[in-house]
């Protein structure tokens, strides 16, 4: 895990504010997440930090040398099993920064395929999914799988085959931070056009439900303009009209220190206003985190 900012006091910070806890692992980490409503296990699918976005709010420092070049699936699987047993035994409460967290928030909510880059571009994505669902199939500790993605690789054959291994309770969380290309360029600095991402979200959301995750920030002291929120909500409405199954839109802001100092957290009041606009325009359920 590579960050440009080091928290001032490891033990004084709550797990909500503290960066991911790797517990000495190479690929598996723990994090208490508001959007997960508790504890999540993360699989760092991109230890090399490969990503085709360069979001202004990203906490990953890509100027530092990577600890790992690729995901070692065998090592990841062993670390995942260990993490599952740690949580099941109540061991998470003894981790630094987690002692004051209420017990109900230390219950496992899901295993996330995510990490320091775009997980769908992990070269052994399908093998990783197979390993995770195999561990679940052993039946010792049940869990839900969540794929967190910017959507650019959802049409890849290996990713499509991996998603086919998901159960109905597993989830895909697809990023959508903008409804216009210019604003997306400002926030995400993508290597792919907005049209491609919307098409990929629709491709998968016509087959199974896709949760939209949207992060909004104050950039250079300014909140997102009303017209940008309008365009964003219109894209959601268009996805819904085209047959996309979108059970939830997650509205949130930067939770951890970002790599860019001009980027800061939006207030709850502004996030609530964005969520209300999404409901009005798209008719979709939107929650603030």
Q: Give the pLDDT of residue 63.
A: 74
Residue 14 belongs to a domain: no
Residue 66: which residues within 8 A CB-CB, separation 6 or more?
2, 47, 48, 49
Comparing 17 with 162, which gets the higher pLDDT?
162
- 106: region left, alpha or beta (phi > 0 left; psi from -120 to 50 alpha): alpha
* Full-model pTM: 0.91
Residue 164 belongs to a domain: yes
Instruction: Judge contact between 254 and 215, C-beta under 8 A.
Output: yes
Distances (CA, A) of 183 to 50, 227, 274: 22, 10, 16
pLDDT per position as a tens digit, 151-176: 999 999 999 999 999 999 999 999 99
Q: Give the pLDDT of residue 260.
A: 72
Tell me what the mean pLDDT of segment 208-225 comes to.
97
The span from the CA of 188 to the CA of 51, in Å, is 11
Domain ranges, residue 244 = 28-288
Residue 191 has pLDDT above 80, yes or no: yes
Residue 17 belongs to a domain: no
Residue 23: which residues within 8 A CB-CB, separation 6 or more?
29, 30, 83, 86, 95
Residue 272 belongs to a domain: yes
Q: How many domains does the chain have?
A: 1
Residue 18 belongs to a domain: no
Residue 12 belongs to a domain: no
Tell me what the mean pLDDT of segment 195-204 comes to.
99
Relative to beta strand 211-215, strand 171-175 is: parallel
CATH of the domain at 48: 3.20.20.70
| Residue position matching structure tokens 């969380």 | 173
Tell me what the mean pLDDT of segment 177-182 comes to.
99
Tell me what the mean pLDDT of segment 174-201 comes to.
98
pLDDT per position as a tens digit, 49-94: 989 999 999 988 777 777 889 999 999 999 999 999 999 999 999 9
pLDDT per position as a tens digit, 231-255: 999 999 999 999 999 999 999 998 7
Instruction: Judge contact between 255 and 16, C-beta under 8 A.
Output: yes
The span from the CA of 23 to the CA of 3, in Å, is 16
Residue 207 belongs to a domain: yes
Residue 6 belongs to a domain: no
pLDDT per position as a tens digit, 101-157: 999 999 999 999 998 999 999 999 999 999 999 999 998 899 999 999 999 999 999
């Amino acid at each position: 895990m590579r960050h440009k900012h080091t928290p001032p006091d490891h033990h004084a910070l709550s797990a909500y504010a503290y960066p991911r806890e790797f517990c000495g692992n190479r690929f598996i980490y723990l994090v208490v997440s508001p959007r997960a409503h508790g504890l999540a296990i993360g699989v760092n699918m991109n230890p090399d930090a490969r990503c085709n976005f360069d979001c202004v709010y990203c906490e990953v420092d890509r100027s530092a040398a990577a600890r790992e070049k690729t995901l070692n699936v065998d090592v990841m699987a062993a670390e995942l099993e260990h993490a599952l047993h740690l949580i099941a035994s109540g061991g998470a409460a003894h981790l630094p920064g987690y002692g004051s967290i209420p017990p109900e928030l230390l219950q496992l909510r899901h295993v996330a395929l995510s990490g320091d880059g775009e997980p769908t571009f992990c070269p052994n994505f399908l093998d990783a999914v197979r390993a995770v669902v195999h561990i679940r199939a052993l039946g010792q500790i049940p869990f839900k799988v969540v794929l967190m993605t910017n959507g650019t690789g959802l049409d890849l054959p290996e990713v499509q085959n991996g998603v086919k291994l998901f159960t109905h309770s597993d989830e895909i969380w697809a990023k959508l931070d903008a409804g216009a290309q210019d604003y997306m360029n400002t926030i995400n600095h993508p290597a792919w056009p907005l049209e491609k991402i919307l098409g990929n979200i629709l491709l998968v959301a016509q087959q199974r439900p896709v949760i939209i995750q949207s992060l909004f920030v104050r950039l250079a002291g300014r909140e997102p303009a009303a017209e940008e929120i309008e365009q964003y909500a219109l894209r959601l409405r268009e996805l819904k009209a085209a047959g996309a199954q979108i059970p939830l839109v997650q509205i949130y802001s930067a939770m951890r220190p970002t790599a860019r100092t001009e980027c800061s957290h939006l207030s709850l009041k502004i996030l609530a206003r964005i969520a209300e606009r999404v409901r009005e325009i798209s008719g979709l359920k939107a929650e603030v985190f």
